[in-house]
Chains A and B, each alone.
Chain A
């Protein structure tokens, strides 16, 4: 069965520091992986996704993630954190169930950026 694990429900970084949010997956088929961001009182927005091809994917707002099959990981990074990056981040894997596609979400990581 497919699953997603996000290590660390809360992460704090200083402004300007590296952001690293961890996501590990379990999948019996080649995974399609996604990162979403949720700003306070808003819905989720797609940051980036990995389907096939290049394992380093770039998203919006300077974020990127690297798919590592050997480590079953899809960690999200940003070289320099901004105050505006404070939000909750969700990793998800797309799975096929009964002929349709659904996400399995991780439990989320809340990022706090310290001035």
Chain B
């Protein structure tokens, strides 16, 4: 089925380790987003991309980097993981156009940093 696929689904990291979360979409969407979800805080935007080769910071970008080398993929990197980055990470995409278009979300990556 068409949609947004996130890998991995679960991961445990030690403090200081690095990792990359992969988001892939097969809907030819221009926009892609990375959010983190924490209890009582809803979803907060980390970084986003409005097209291949472009990225921009969201509201909580510190400690994360992103890349969008291919239109269908949006990578989220943690260079040196910290316990504060324990969270559930969601990727989303939407097509080019007006602000009435909804997002398609992936099923999430649950990351624990110990």
A44 near B105: Cβ-Cβ < 8 Å: yes
A107 near B42: Cβ-Cβ < 8 Å: yes
Interface residue A12 (Cβ < 8 Å from any Cβ of B): no
Interface residue B74 (Cβ < 8 Å from any Cβ of A): no
B42 near A108: Cβ-Cβ < 8 Å: yes
Q: Contact size class for A?
A: 20 to 34
Take A95-B99, A105-B43, A107-B41 as given contacts and tell me if A100 and B106 are in contact as well, using a CB distance cutoff of 8 Å.
no
Take A105-B42, A105-B43 as given contacts and tell me if A43 and B102 are in contact as well, using a CB distance cutoff of 8 Å.
no
Near B by CB (< 8 A), chain A positions 46-61 give: 46, 49, 51
Take A43-B106, A100-B31, A102-B33 as given contacts and tell me if A32 and B99 are in contact as well, using a CB distance cutoff of 8 Å.
yes
Contacts of B4 in A (CB 8 A): 43
- Contact partner of A106 (CB less than 8 A), chosen from B42, B50, B100, B101, is B42
Contacts of A101 in B (CB 8 A): 31, 94, 98-99, 101
Centre residue among A43, A90, A94 by max chain B CB count within 10 A: A43
- Cβ contacts A22-62/B at 8 Å (1 or 0 each): 00000000001010100001111110010100000000000
Centre residue among A36, A101, A105 by max chain B CB count within 10 A: A101
Contacts of B13 in A (CB 8 A): none
CB contacts between A and B, total, < 8 Å: 58
Q: Contact size class for B?
A: 20 to 34
Near B by CB (< 8 A), chain A positions 80-115 give: 90, 94-96, 98, 100-103, 105-108
For the residues of A in contact with B, the DSSP-based class is strand
25 contacts between A and B (CB under 8 A): A9-B40, A32-B99, A41-B107, A42-B107, A42-B108, A43-B90, A43-B108, A44-B43, A46-B102, A46-B103, A51-B100, A90-B43, A94-B99, A94-B100, A98-B56, A100-B31, A100-B56, A101-B99, A102-B58, A103-B43, A103-B103, A105-B43, A105-B44, A106-B42, A107-B41
B positions within 8 Å CB-CB of A: 4, 31, 33, 40-45, 48, 50, 56, 58, 90, 92, 94, 98-103, 105-108
